[in-house]
Structure 1
Amino acid sequence: MNYFRKLMYVFSALFFGLTMFAQENNNLNVYAITNVNVVPMDKEEILEDHTVLVENGRITAVGPSAAIQLPPNTVKIDGQGRYLIPGLTEMHGHIPGEDRPQYVEDVLFLYIANGVTTVRNMLGNAYHLKVRDRVERGELPGPKIFAAGPFFSKDLAPTPEAANREVRRQKEAGFDLLKMGSIDKATYGQMAKTAKEEGIPFGGHIPVEVGLTGALDAGQRSIDHYDRYVEFLVPEDAKTEGVSAGFFGSGLMLLIDKSRIPEAVRRTVEAGTWNVPTLSLIEHLASPEPAAQMIKWPEMKYMPQDVLEGWVNFKNDYSKREDFKPEATKALVELRRELTKELHDSGAQIALGSDAPQFFNVPGFSLHSEMEMMVTAGLTPYEVLVTGTRNPAFYFDTPEEFGTIEPGKRADLLLLNANPLENISNTQKIHALIVNGKLYDRETLDRRLLEIERN
């Protein structure tokens, strides 16, 4: 190392040390992102040369830089030439269980390292409530968590009476929502009735006996993976005897009638039910790329080896199933893209989710891939960003809390090096972020990512 490089290294280390000291001794947690291009997400516009002031984890001022007075001891983050957007929300995420605490910490950080500041955890237990609360108290770095309870299966709720008790138990335990699974029609009906009485939403899958219309009529808050839409598109007089529905309807694709799509869309809009598409779930399955190559993607280095092996085995095994037909699965990919565009353009509620860490979806990284898939489906970058920022806040009935850059909102902020409205892939060019009142610069993010890679 020559003298100049040594000198630069010393100055860099000194600057980083002083910055971290300022942050740690900034008792009021006051930050200012200065001279930045703000993408507020309340409408499609860019507020040039603005300053956003953050105090105690809340946005307290947004305005032209020349008009913003900064309090003493403010930590400044240079936004010159950069773009500020609200943090992203993963509306179908998963957090590992208590048997792998290090993996839990790694997953939480992978989310925030990719600008995901809120996660709807779609399957959980009492342990996840503890994780949620630790993150909330600032004891554990991670996104804000909305926690679903245990999966409503036939084992958990075999009867309507059992469903009634389980809904009340999960509500009392403090879960934020109920995760739907494979229960019979009568049990589902009782679950929906009790959930309405208790004021707790339910979402996820749709039991086969209930079907799309049954879930919409019951007020299911969200449908994930476009579950049961394919079945709705199959005409009643179609010969389905002995035909397996396959993975999210892939086995029925040769029987569907696309002229029924407008009716499915109309019913969805009228019900006010949200959809979380998780396009990547099927696109990864349909991809001709071998599983052994998929686990060589750059982000795969952050996942445990046994998880990667599980993904490879699943894809390889699925390709051998009798109900797996490559042409039908390819058609399913196209249908899901078409549904995304039709539902969006018709005013249906859509929220961003990728189902991570599942099936080649690395937490955080997969949400950016999902956004690119939604652009491919026909949405603009701004429209896609709405599904991952403003829309989730409305889903949770807390639009005053997050989702846009306005005074009073939670300061979940993502500072980018390029304009995401020009290209959605620019959401990956993260310079810094603020989550739960804490600033993470690029060096801090990279250092922790390296630790996860080496775990």
Structure 2
Amino acid sequence: MYKKTLSLSIFAALVLTGCQADTQAQQITKTQYDVIIYNANVIDVETGKIRVNAVIALDDDKIALVGDESLLDTNQATRMFDAENKYVIPGLWDMHVHFEGENLIKDNADLFPVYIAYGITTVRDAASDLGEQVLDWRDQINAGEILGPQIYTAGRKLEGIDSIWKGDLEIGNTKELNDALDYLDSKHVDFIKMTANTLQPDLFVEGIKTSKARGYKVSAHIPQKATVEMIVGAGVSSIEHASYMLRLGIPNEAELIAKINAGEIKSSAARKLYVSEFDQTLANKRYQALAAKGVAITPTLIGGKQLAYLDENDHADDDFKKYLTAEFMSHYAWRIERMGKRTPEQIQASKTRYQLIASQIPHLEEAGVLVMAGSDSAALNTFVYPAMALHEELTLFQDAGVKPLQILQAATVNGAKFMGVKDKIATVEANKEADLVILNSNPLEDIHATQDIFAVVNNGQLLEREVLDKLLATAAKQKIELDVTRANDSAVDVRL
């Protein structure tokens, strides 16, 4: 991974806008570290233990040391920061986002600082029609040219011929599979993403095996015409969306899939059976099999929750919309329209299905499956707001009965484990990358604490609340300016 260092010009601008060293730091003449954070309660996200009155020294983009307050007697820094007995956790990871929309390039880029202000310092982009652009953003962020979360990305995903998804790499045979992987190789993607709108099961399985042979992690949906067992047996690394877990509670999934393939039953009817015939004991046994094979799961509850309960919350008063352009939110409309046509029975069925899916997360945790927090935020996913949606996802985990420590792990160290970089990042330890969030209250007591941020350290740079608020204010201003520009351009087009 490239070294992530925010350019001096960008960081200087942040400093000038309100990030001044305090008087204690001004009196120091000898410099040993860039920043020392003291009076901190450091949470070990692997054990749940809290180190009180801790000191954290930052040097360049790394955590140089973590110790007790006696370190202040022998160590100094250019900048001293009193954490005021707040709680320090690693920077948050959103393990499923999409930066998408060929007409939304600036809209997406303007949200990068919002992620930082919300404590999200790393994201995993699960492919989109902006694949090459996201790869460029990844490299620019790593080089310190723009401010944003570190990005791991699949670039463009593998799909079948004539799929519904824009910008995917469509394959229909082995040669096209290998050509697509050659292309992704050339772009140095971080993992492979596969979906199955039209990609046939046999080629899907071959795609997983071939990608794994090339050294990639493979994240995937489960094809409608394939069993979960078939995809897991092929070696899939992670299953995206916990809705697929309902299939593991059906005794006769293979028979049901065979009937779907033969045209004897519609997929909509099968979806109902996944709920009505769900056997929790059987599902738990199969979750243990997933864990034994090292398969991870990114539940992405928030999207299903927003749609299922749209009759109770139309999101008219959502504050986060001040960061999202009219063009960005215009992509929400098709799902809103579709949901508006539901009968009362269908609405209740959606809620029942969501509740069953959400209830699986504690069972997955208990079985030992690596659970990763991801929002699936994207312009196409209605009311799943970039950055904010991860925090909402974490609260849904808590509502489902997941313990706060497990939730913190899902949003920090588990993502690093999956990407193979735990030795470099995602815990508050010496020699790790300096991505931290300082919270006003203890997230081990209530995960809502992740939404109450005192300060953020992104790539070694300490951003206090005043600076974070200015980043958010800038994002809101850019949203307005982009809306006005587009409205004016549209008016000109009409006159022409």
| Shared fold (TM-score, shorter chain, > 0.5) | yes
Superposition deviation, residue 442 in structure 1: 1.0
Aligned match for 1:353, one of 370, 374, 383: 374
Change in 2 beyond 3 A, CA 1:55/1:323: same
Deviations 1:415-452 (A, max 9, x none): 11111111111111111111122221111111121122
For 1:448 and 1:17, how far apart are their aligned partners in 2? 12
CA spacing shift, 1:298–1:152, aligned 2, 3 Å: same
The alpha-carbon distance between structure 1 residues 254 and 404, as it changes in their structure 2 partners (threshold 3 A), is same
Task: Identify the match of residue 336 of structure 1 among 357, 369, 382.
Answer: 357
Matched AA of 2:297: N
Q: Which residue in 2 is equivalent to 1:180?
A: 194
Q: Any conservation in 2 of the 1:180–1:206 contact (CA below 8 Å)? A: no
Structure 1 residues 352 and 17: alpha-carbon distance in aligned structure 2, compared to 1, 3 A threshold: closer
Q: Which residue is equivalent to 1:270?
A: 292
Distance 1:421 1:160 in 2: 49
Alignment match of 1:230 (pick from 222, 246, 252): 246
**SS, match of residue 112 in structure 1:** helix
Which residue matches 2:146?
140
Shift of 1:193: 2.3
**Equivalents in 2 of 1:73, 1:255: separation in Å?**
62
Picking from 173, 186, 189, the partner of 1:159 is: 173
Secondary structure of residue in 1 paired with 2:54: strand
Query: Is 1:219 aligned to 2:235, yes or no?
Result: yes
Deviates more, 1:141-150 or 1:154-163: 154-163
The Cα offsets for residues 113-139 of structure 1, whole Å up to 9 and x where unpaired, read as 110011001114121111000000111
Alpha-carbon distance, 1:259 to partner: 4.5
User: d(CA) in 2 for partners of 1:257 and 1:336?
Assistant: 13
| SS at 2:203 equivalent | helix
Q: Quote the Cα distance in structure 1 between the aligned partners of 2:119 and 2:273.
A: 36
Distance 1:17 1:337, change over 3 A: closer
Preserved CA contact (<8 Å) 1:94 1:121: yes
Equivalent-residue separation in structure 2 for 1:430 and 1:179 (angstroms): 32
* Residue 374 in structure 1 maps to residue 402 in structure 2: no
* Equivalent in 76, 79, 87 of residue 80 of structure 2: 76
Q: Structure 1 residue aligned with 2:424, among 389, 401, 405? A: 401
Query: Could you tell me which amino acid in structure 2 is paired with residue 198 of structure 1?
Result: R
Report the equivalent of 2:133. Answer: 127
Contact 2:92 2:412 in 1 (8 A): yes
Give the 3 Å change call, closer, same or farther, for CA 243–325 of structure 1 in structure 2: farther
Instruction: Provide the C-alpha distance between the structure 1 equivalents of 2:349 and 2:273, rounded to a whole number of angstroms.
Output: 7
2:104 to 100, 105, 116: 100
**Once the 2 structures are TM-superposed, how far is the Cα of residue 227 of structure 1 from its aligned partner?**
4.7
Deviations 1:6-56 (A, max 9, x none): xxxxxxx99947449999xx9997111111111122311111101100101
AA aligned opposite 1:59 = I
Q: Is the 8 A contact 2:44 2:50 kept in 1?
A: yes
Q: CA deviation at 1:204?
A: 3.0
Contact 1:253 1:328 survives alignment (8 Å): no
- RMSD of the alignment, in Å? 2.8
Indicate the SS of the match to 1:449: helix
Alignment-derived partner of residue 185 in structure 2: 171
Counterpart contact for 1:250–1:329, Cα < 8 Å: no
Is residue 2:84 matched to residue 1:61? no
> CA offset at residue 244 of structure 1?
3.2
Shift of 1:80: 1.7
Structure 1 residues 40-51: aligned runs within 5 Å: 40-51=44-55
SS in 2 for 1:281: helix
> Structure 1 residues 180 and 326 mapped into 2: Cα distance closer, same or farther (>3 Å)?
same
Q: For 1:364, give the aligned amino acid.
A: A
Q: SS at 1:74's partner residue?
A: strand
Within 5 A, what are the aligned runs for 1:307-326? 307-320=328-341, 325-326=346-347
CA distance in 1, matches of 2:19, 2:38: 21
Displacement after TM superposition at 1:58 (Å): 0.4
Tell whether the 8 Å contact from 1:153 to 1:180 is kept in structure 2 after alignment: yes
Distance 1:232 1:41, change over 3 A: closer
Other-structure match for 1:3: none
Task: Using structure 1 for the length normalisation, give the TM-score.
Answer: 0.89
Partner residue in 1 for 2:9: none
* 234-243 vs 329-338, greater mean Cα deviation: 234-243
SS at match of 1:228: helix
Deviation, structure 1 residue 323: 13
1:244 and 2:267 matched:
yes
| CA shift digits 1:222-241 (9 cap, x unpaired) | 11112533334344366874
- Residue 290 of structure 2 is aligned to residue 284 of structure 1: no
Whole-Å separation in 2 of the counterparts to 1:166 and 1:416: 43
Of 207, 214, 220 in structure 2, the residue corresponding to residue 191 of structure 1 is: 207
The structure-2 alpha-carbon separation of the partners of 1:324 and 1:176, relative to structure 1 and needing over 3 Å to count, comes to farther
Query: 2:35 maps to what in 1?
Result: 31
1:51 and 1:18 map into 2 onto residues whose CA distance is 20
The equivalent of 1:200 in structure 2 is: 216
Identity %: 27
The aligned amino acid for 1:82 is K
Q: CA deviation at 1:321?
A: 6.2
Mean CA deviation greater in 230-239 or 173-182: 230-239
Cα shift readout 1:128-187 (whole Å, capped 9, x = no counterpart): 111000000111101110011212111311222211221232123200111111111221
Partner of 1:441: 464
* 1:113 maps to amino acid: A
How far did residue 359 of structure 1 move?
Answer: 2.1
In structure 2, the CA distance between the partners of 1:346 and 1:161, relative to structure 1 (3 Å rule), is same
Q: Which residue of 2 aligns with 1:327?
A: 348
